[in-house]
């Protein structure tokens, strides 16, 4: 018997298959629908252009009442990501609501990746560099794209 969470995950997956997001692919673990892996190709106008970023998305058993966990596997020089690949997005933390859709979360993650901001950072040092020396920030981000995201 399908649970509320598996029904919702299947619906979200069907929505993504019907309306895929440009620059983003999702693969569902064949043995466990609660585990997804994905890739985001950075936008052409992003500091991370040319990079492909791999991530895992794991749904809790009580989804949609708790947010999924998102962890990036590709290193990224970004103020909104920590060294372990966690992303700083309020909707995945304290602003989660059961009505939030997975396509909306994925669009938010894409936007966060492509548009780094010094606001609400996971890494205050990178945020300070972005704010105070954008040229150096962009240079370092570009180096990391070449080193980790190609």
145 is catalytic: no
CB atoms within 10 A of CB 84: 8
Contacts of 86 (CB under 8 A, 6+ apart): 70, 71, 72, 122
Q: Residue 60: is the preceding peptide bond cis (ω within 30°)?
A: no
* Active-site annotation holder among 43, 88, 128, 138: 88
Q: What DSSP designation does 90 have?
A: G
Q: Are 38 and 28 in contact (CB under 8 A)?
A: no
Instruction: Look up residue 81 and give its DSSP letter.
Output: B
Positions marked catalytic: 88
């Amino acid at each position: 018997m399908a649970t509320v969470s598996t029904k919702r995950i299947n619906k979200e997956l069907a929505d993504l298959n019907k309306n895929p997001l440009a620059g983003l692919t999702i693969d569902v673990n064949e043995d466990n629908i609660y585990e997804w892996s994905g890739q985001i190709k950075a936008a052409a106008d992003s500091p991370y252009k040319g990079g492909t970023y791999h991530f895992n998305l794991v749904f809790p058993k009580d989804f949609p009442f708790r947010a999924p966990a998102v962890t990036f596997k590709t290193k990224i020089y970004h103020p909104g990501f920590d060294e372990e690949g966690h992303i700083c997005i309020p909707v995945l933390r304290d602003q989660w609501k059961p009505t939030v859709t997975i396509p909306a979360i994925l669009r938010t993650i894409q936007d966060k990746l492509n548009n780094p901001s010094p606001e609400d950072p996971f890494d205050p040092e990178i945020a300070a560099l972005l704010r105070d020396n954008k040229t150096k920030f962009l240079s370092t981000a570009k180096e990391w794209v070449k080193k980790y995201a190609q």
